[in-house]
Each structure stands twice: as C-alpha cells, then as structure tokens.
Amino acid sequence: MEEHSYQLIDGKAVAEQIKKELAAEVEKIKQDGRKAPHLVAILVGHDGGSEAYVANKVRNCEEIGLRSSLIRFEDDVTEQALLDKVNELNADDDVDGLIVQMPLPKHISSQRVIEAIDYRKDVDGFHPINVGRMSIGLPCFKPATPAGIIELLRHYEIPTKGKHCVILGRSNIVGKPMAMLMMQKDNPGDCTVTVCHSRSENLREMCLSADIIIAALGVPEFLKGDMVKEGAVVIDVGTTRVPSSVTKSGYRLMGDVAFHEVAPKCSYITPVPGGVGPMTIISLMRNTLLAGKKAVFGKEE
Ligand code: GUN
C-alpha cells in the first residue's frame, strides 16, 4: 500500500495569524477615535460544552480588542423573556454582533429565537436572510465553521476546482452551508458536492470516490481508513466531548475521523483539536469586526 506523507493542516497556527490581522484592524478603529466592535453572547443554562465555547469566544474578543458582553439566563427562562432581550439588543446601537449559544432548552424554539435576531447583527449567519443570501452568493454573514474551513483550504492552496467533495452530515450550521460554499463558483469552491447523512446508502463508496471529505456528523472516529482514497484531503469537524482522567478539564475532544488509520492515506488532514476549532472562533471574530464596520450590510440597509 502506498503511504502518503500527509501534511497536517495547522488550524491553530492559521488562526493565530488571522487573529493578529484582526487585532491590528481593531487597533486602527480605536486610533481613529471609534469604539471597538461589540459582540453580545446570550447563554442559557450551564451546559459544559456551551460554557466552554462561550468562554472561548469572550476570551478571543479580549485578545483581539473587541468588546464583548455575556448575558446569562437560567434553564427555566421563558421563550418570551429571551425574545424580549433579543429585541432590546437589536434596538441597541451599541451592539454590533449578537449570538445566542445553541442548543437551547427544549421548551424554547431555537428557530423563533434565531429569526428574532436582526440579520444585520447575526454574526453566526443562522438567520434565514443570511442563509438565503449565502445560497445565491450575495454578501452575508457566513456561519463560522464552514467559513473557517474555506479559509483553511485557501491558506494551504488546496485545489478544489472540479474536485469531488463529500460532506458527511446535513446540519444547518455545518453540513448544508458547507455544501453551498464548496459548490459556489469561487476559489475555494467549484466542487462537485455530495452530501451524505445518517440515512445514506453506499456511504463507504461515496467516501472512496471523494477528493475532499468534510466529516461533520458528530460520531467519534466514524471515518475509517478503508473509506478514504489515497491522496484525499480530510477535514474533521467532530468535537465530541468524552470523559478523560488525564486532562485538567476532565474531558477530551474526539473527532469524526479515525486519525491514525486515515492520516497515512491523506495528502492533507486536520487534527482534533487544533484543526477546524480555532478557525471557527476566528470566523466569528471576523464577522463581529465586519458587523462593527457595517461592511456586509451598509448603514442604510
Ligand atoms: N452551538 C454550536 N455551534 C454554535 C455556533 O456556531 N453558534 C452558536 N450560537 N451556538 C453554537
């Protein structure tokens, strides 16, 4: 069997580089006498994963010089109380970006909350106006994970034009938007895209015909070595938290790719952690900066 000497896609390093660029832009805004863009995050309840993600967003804002506020609600908050807060923040000119950390408790409709957010402040890119605009290639806020993956492909100059890209997973926040971006007439883009999911037949055959595989199903080590062709590019979006006795936090992250089996077959592969994750955060930071600059939707729109 041919062994590729694969190249590790270092999302952490790329994110650090972009972070410096964003920080320099924020510094310039402040030197011009304007306020730094302001991200507001709403967190409902105390889910460990959500707590960690939001804390990471707030820390990255601080490191880049962006302003951030964290608004907390308990698990038993009513949908109306949450919607009232969203409307208040929509009307607040001092708020540039607004995110509500998902998932929300079952008694609250995530969709109603997402649609309540002013699309001009929707730096998560979840509002149907942003989703629709992205699907037809109009200026919009793009969701953070797919945008981060596009940046990685761009940074490593990985050829995508005419390639077969298989996406595993059809979620609204990764699989579907990723498919849109990979098929877009652009570089990175111009792929032939297949979206596979839990009901797909012939999944192994689909994967074996892929030049690029983006695994985003949330099933630890789902993608095995015998599902990947020689020279493929593999992007691992999985971040399942499993208990661990060896880490300080008491858990570790597991990707959707059986890395040790898959990596030797790849031309490029992302690790977990240190691949897609840091790029996701940085994309949110970039969107917040764009929101502050009114660079996506002008002042009048
Ligand atoms: N939950 C998982 N991913 C995300 C994300 O990108 N944004 C928000 N708000 N919640 C999430």
The reply to whether 124 belongs to the active site is yes
Asked if 146 and 273 sit in the same domain, the reply is yes
Number of residues written out for the chain: 301
57 is annotated as an active-site residue: yes
Distances (CA, A) of 2 to 210, 211, 230, 265: 17, 16, 8, 8
Kindly state whether residues 154 and 223 are assigned to the same domain: yes
Residue 217 CA to residue 94 CA, distance in Å, equals: 37
Q: 191 with 150, same domain?
A: yes
Q: Which of 10, 96, 122, 124 is catalytic?
A: 124
* Number of domains within the chain: 2
**Dist. CA 202 → ligand 1 center (Å):** 30
Ligand 1 centroid, distance to 103 Cα (angstroms) = 8
CA 101 from centroid of its chain's CA atoms: 13
Tell me the C-alpha distance between 108 and 82, whole Å. Answer: 9
- State pLDDT tens for residues 240-284: 999 999 999 899 999 999 999 999 999 999 999 999 999 999 999
DSSP conformational letter for 78: -
Evaluate whether residue 27 is within a structural domain: no
Task: Tell whether 167 and 75 lie within a shared domain.
Answer: no
- Which tokens in the block code for residue 139? 């200026």
Q: Per DSSP, which regions of 13-91 are E strands?
A: 38-44, 67-73
Query: Residue 2 pLDDT more than 70?
Result: no
Active site residue 96: no
Which residue is catalytic, options 57, 85, 142, 265?
57
| pLDDT above 90: percentage of residues in the chain | 96
173 lines ligand 1 (CB under 6 A): yes
Residue 54 CA to ligand 1 centre (angstroms): 9
Q: For residue 100, give the nearest of 59, 147, 39, 13 by alpha carbon.
A: 39
pLDDT in tens, 170-188: 999 999 999 999 999 999 9
Domain span at residue 69?
34-122
Pocket flag, ligand 1, residue 122 (CB < 6 Å):
no
Sign of CA dihedral 74, 79, 80, 82: positive
Please determine, for residue 1, whether its predicted confidence score (pLDDT) is greater than 90.
Answer: no
The response to whether residue 39 sits with its C-beta less than 6 Å from ligand 1 reads no
Q: Is 92 part of any domain?
A: yes
pTM: 0.96
